[in-house]
Structures are given as C-alpha cells and as structure tokens.
C-alpha cells in the first residue's frame, strides 16, 4: 500500500493528501481527531475516549454523534476510507502503513543506539518548531494538555539531539556550526548554564576570546535579572579559563602604529629572553568603574605570584587592595578603607603603574584592550597614564576598536 497521507506536527500543522494540502478542508476538531489517531502509531483508540476528549461538555449521545460525523467527513475527504482510517463501532485508528509522520521520522533519526552525524542533521531539519505550534481547540482541555506534554517531550528530544550534534561538530572542529546550534538552545532555555559553558568552549577553540567573554557576561546578566543569582561554580571556572587564555604568538611591534581598528604603542622588547606575559582585557558598555583596571591587576597579581623573588613594596599593594583584596596577602594586614574617590584614583593609578614597571623587569608584557571604545572612564585614565609612560616600560600596548570615538581620537594623538 503506497503512502498518500502526510502529517507534519513539528512546527505549524501540515496535512497533505497525495502531495496536496487539505488543511483548510478539515474542521479544527476534525484535525484534532486525525492528529490524535495518527500519533498513536496504528493503535486502536476507543470511540468513547475520543468523544470525551473532544466533546467533554456534551451528553454521551451528542458526543458520539459528533464523533461519527467528523469521522465520516474525514473518510469522505481522504477518499480512501478503508485504507487510511480503520475501525469498527467501538474503536478506530489510522493505518500506519498509509501514513508519513514527521515525528516518527524524527524519532528514528535520533535513536541513540543507531544515530549518526548525518541522521542527527536530518532530524534537525525535521524539527521546524514546537509540536503543533499555535494549535489548540477551545474547551478541549484534555486535548490541549496532551499537546502541551507532547511539546515538552519533543523539546527535550530536540535539546538532547542538539547537544549530541554539537559535540560531534566539536570533535570534527566545525566550531561555527556548533555555536549556531547551541544558540538555538538558548532560545528554548536561556537559563541553562551548561549551554553557556559549551559556547565558551567553542569560542575559545576558535581563538575568539572576545566572544567567550561576551557569552559569560550575558549568562551572568540573565541569571541576575531572571533568578537573582550568580553563575554556578562550573560557569565561573569557564570564566577563569577565558582569563587564562593566552595567545601563542603575541607578535612584537617595533614602534607606534595605527591600522584600521587598532592602535599600538610601545617599543620592541629589549630582552627577548624574558618570558612573555599577555594580558588581554575585554571591555563592555556600561561596565562598572575600574572594570578593565581590575582585570589588568588580577592578571598582574597572578604573574607576580609565579616570580621566584618577590620584593615589590607592600605599600603599593596596600593601595592596590582597594581594587582587588587579594593584594592584601602581600601586606600583612586584613583590610583597608578609603572613602575619598579622588584619593583612591590617584593611589590606584600610581600603584598600578609601579607594579607594571616592576613586572616589566621580569616579563615582556603585552597589554591588549578589546573594544576600547567601551572602556570605563577610570580605566581609560589609567591607560592614558600607561601610554604617557610607555617609553619607561618594557611593554607593548594594543588598543582594539570597531568604531571611532573621542577616546580613540585622544589615544591617536598621544
């Protein structure tokens, strides 16, 4: 028996007979009955059950009559009643051999014991949207509840399928494809931190540290706004991976230069034998005060901790502890408070410059600021100070940007 009835349930409902749509020729309840029978995979459904689902508020006699009438209309429209809709006086079914059903094909392609990369890609194309998207029948609560649970079930299947597929893309180094898939999952569940962690891993695998930072901050923002919580321990560990990500070749620039989207200040490293230290800081619009400075300091403190001889002045660490309390470990005191903002700024600027000067004796430092246009004002003042003292530092400063701004123009003229 050839298949001549096609029903697609993923996304907007589609019903085709011999390749032609018959959706507009069937009543809403007729469609509901047809869909319900089709999804039961050739199983007999009691007529009384169907009548109670689709006419819950009608009398037994009226609901049975309405069911008979709708089944008669379906058989008449399908034109092959004996081949497609089967049954007797007590039950009925849709013959599975006469039917092509997208959810059946979807399920076969994602079967865990047999799926392949190709079958998962086919399944993704089949998933046009949620189960029976925007379809419901008034005053049929049981049927609408059934749609809801089917929708949840197929969302879960799709979700797991995309995870498997993205893992396959990662193994094949098809990172862009994996990122596209994972972003689809965030539309379904924007609060799933596991997806953000995977997106960070894919971005770092592509060498895109900027995007990895943006993903983390988006995750933090959504969790704060929707649940009033901070990222989990696992997500924070992903953030530390971003911070510790280092370019393999920083490239030494011998003099100040300016390209499209980039300003570079600094001299060629005098001691090539020194270990290289790359500090790459991502800035964002509306970031808090001292944001970029804080990230620079955090990286410098980590590098300082790895030095064999540590004799930088505790006095400067005391001032830097205003920005990062971990600096207190080198001071011998537990806390430090300053309330005058101007005094705080002056102490932070001078102390951070001193620490950069000190560390540049032991490391060839490259400081990169991404999206420099968005840097907070306090950190911008610090970068200006570094730029003005660049000749006394063993440091190359690289400012990256995507558009001109007053800050960019200022830095070009230093």
* pLDDT mean across residues, the chain: 86
Cβ count near 156 (within 10 Å): 11
DSSP assignment of 280-328 equals EEE--TTPPTTHHHHHHHHHHHHHHHT-SS----HHHHHHHTTT-GGGG
Provide the CA 120 distance to its chain's centre, in angstroms: 20
Picking from 391, 392, 390, 385, the residue whose alpha carbon sits closest to that of residue 410 is 385
Residue 82 has pLDDT above 60, yes or no: no
Pair 362, 370: CB distance under 8 Å: no
Task: Give the tokens for residue 249.
Answer: 């070749």
Pairing of strands 363-370, 275-282: parallel
Q: At what angle do helices 47-54 and 28-39 cross, to 10 degrees?
A: 140
State how far the Cα of 197 lies from the Cα of 242, in Å rounded to an integer: 11
Between 358 and 322, the higher pLDDT residue: 358
The string of pLDDT tens digits covering residues 154-203 is 999 999 999 999 999 999 989 999 999 999 999 889 999 999 999 999 98
State how far the Cα of 344 lies from the Cα of 319, in Å rounded to an integer: 8
DSSP assignment of 70-124 equals HHHHHHHHHS-HHHHEEE-SSEEEE-GGGEEEHHHHHHHHT-TTT--HHHHHHHH
Q: Number of C-alpha atoms within 13 angstroms, CB side, residue 297?
A: 26
Burial class from Cβ neighbours inside 10 Å (0-12, 13-18, 19+) for residue 203 reads buried
Q: What is the dihedral of CA 269, 272, 275, 279, to 10 degrees?
A: 30
pLDDT given at position 83 = 63
Pairing of strands 91-94, 45-46: antiparallel
Tell me the pTM.
0.58
Pair 329, 322: CB distance under 8 Å: no
State how far the Cα of 281 lies from the Cα of 274, in Å rounded to an integer: 22
Mean pLDDT confidence for 391-409: 89
Task: Give the tokens for residue 150.
Answer: 């089917």
Computed on alpha carbons and rounded to an integer, the radius of gyration of the chain in Å comes to 32
pLDDT given at position 70 = 92
Q: pLDDT > 90: what percent of the chain?
A: 53
Between 228 and 248, the higher pLDDT residue: 228
Across the beta sheet with 275-282, the strand order is 257-259, 262-266, 395-400, 363-370, 275-282
Residue 39 has pLDDT above 50, yes or no: yes
State how far the Cα of 31 lies from the Cα of 26, in Å rounded to an integer: 6
Task: Give the tokens for residue 212.
Answer: 């990895």
Domains, the chain, ordered by start = 1-171 (1.10.10.10), 173-245 (1.25.40.10), 257-412 (no CATH)
Looking at the chain, the number of H-run helices and the number of E-run strands are 16, 12
Which range (15-19, 166-170, 337-341) has the least confidence?
337-341
Largest pairwise CA distance in the chain: 96
C-alpha distances in Å from residue 296, one per residue of 111, 258, 304: 49, 23, 12
């Amino acid at each position: 028996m050839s298949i001549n009835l096609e029903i697609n349930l993923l996304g907007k409902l589609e019903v085709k007979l011999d390749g032609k749509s018959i959706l507009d020729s069937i009543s809403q309840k007729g469609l509901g009955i047809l869909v319900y029978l089709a999804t039961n995979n050739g199983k007999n459904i009691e007529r009384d059950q169907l009548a109670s689902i689709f006419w819950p508020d009608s009398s037994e006699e009226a609901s049975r009559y309405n069911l008979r009438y709708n089944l008669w209309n379906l058989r008449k429209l399908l034109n092959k009643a004996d081949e497609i809709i089967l049954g007797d006086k007590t039950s009925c079914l849709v013959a599975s051999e006469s039917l092509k059903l997208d959810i059946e094909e979807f399920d076969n392609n994602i079967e865990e014991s047999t799926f392949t990369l190709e079958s998962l890609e086919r399944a993704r194309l089949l998933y046009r949207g949620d189960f029976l998207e925007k379809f419901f029948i008034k005053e049929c609560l049981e049927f609408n509840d059934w749609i809801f649970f089917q929708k949840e079930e197929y969302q879960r299947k799709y979700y797991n399928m995309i995870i498997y597929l993205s893992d396959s893309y990662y193994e094949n180094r098809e990172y862009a494809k994996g990122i596209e898939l994972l972003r689809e999952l965030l539309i379904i569940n924007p609060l799933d931190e596991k997806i953000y962690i995977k997106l960070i891993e894919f971005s770092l695998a592509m060498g895109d540290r900027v995007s990895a930072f943006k993903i983390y901050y988006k995750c933090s923002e959504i969790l704060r706004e929707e649940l009033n919580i901070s990222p989990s321990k696992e997500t924070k560990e992903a953030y530390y991976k971003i911070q510790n990500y280092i370019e393999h070749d920083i490239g030494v620039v011998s003099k100040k230069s300016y390209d499209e989207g980039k300003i570079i200040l600094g001299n060629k490293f005098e001691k090539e034998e020194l270990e290289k230290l790359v500090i790459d800081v991502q800035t964002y619009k509306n970031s808090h005060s001292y944001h970029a400075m804080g990230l620079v300091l955090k990286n410098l403190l980590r590098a300082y901790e790895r030095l064999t001889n540590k004799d930088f002045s505790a006095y400067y660490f005391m001032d830097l502890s205003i920005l990062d309390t971990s600096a207190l470990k080198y001071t011998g005191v537990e806390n430090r408070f300053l309330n005058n903002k101007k005094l705080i700024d002056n102490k932070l600027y001078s102390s951070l410059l001193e620490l950069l000067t000190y560390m540049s004796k032991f490391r060839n430092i490259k400081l990169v600021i991404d999206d420099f246009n968005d840097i907070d004002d306090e950190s911008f003042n610090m970068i200006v100070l570094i730029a003005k003292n660049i000749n006394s530092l063993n440091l190359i400063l690289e400012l990256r940007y995507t558009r001109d701004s007053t800050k960019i123009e200022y830095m070009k003229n230093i």
